[in-house]
Chain A
Amino acid sequence: QKEVEQNSGPLSVPEGAIASLNCTYSDRGSQSFFWYRQYSGKSPELIMSIYSNGDKEDGRFTAQLNKASQYVSLLIRDSQPSDSATYLCAVTPEGGYQKVTFGTGTKLQVIP
Chain B
Amino acid sequence: GAGVSQSPRYKVAKRGQDVALRCDPISGHVSLFWYQQALGQGPEFLTYFQNEAQLDKSGLPSDRFFAERPEGSVSTLKIQRTQQEDSAVYLCASSPRTGPGTDTQYFGPGTRLTVL
**Pairwise interchain contact A97-B107, C-beta atoms closer than 8 A:** no
Residues of A within 8 A of B102 (CB): 32, 49, 51
**Pairwise interchain contact B41-A104, C-beta atoms closer than 8 A:** yes
Set B45, B91, B103, B107: member contacting A99, Cβ < 8 A:
B45
The residue in chain A whose Cβ has the minimal distance to the Cβ of B89 is A43
**Pairwise interchain contact B107-A44, C-beta atoms closer than 8 A:** yes
On chain B, which size bracket covers the interface? 20 to 34
Q: Is B1 an interface residue (CB 8 A)?
A: no
Residues of B within 8 A of A32 (CB): 100-102
Set A43, A88, A97, A100: member contacting B109, Cβ < 8 A:
A43
Q: Is B33 an interface residue (CB 8 A)?
A: yes
Q: Is B25 an interface residue (CB 8 A)?
A: no
Residues of B within 8 A of A90 (CB): 42
Set A31, A98, A101: member contacting B103, Cβ < 8 A:
A98
**Pairwise interchain contact A93-B101, C-beta atoms closer than 8 A:** yes
Residues of B within 8 A of A98 (CB): 31, 33, 48, 95, 98-99, 101, 103, 105
Residues of B within 8 A of A45 (CB): 107
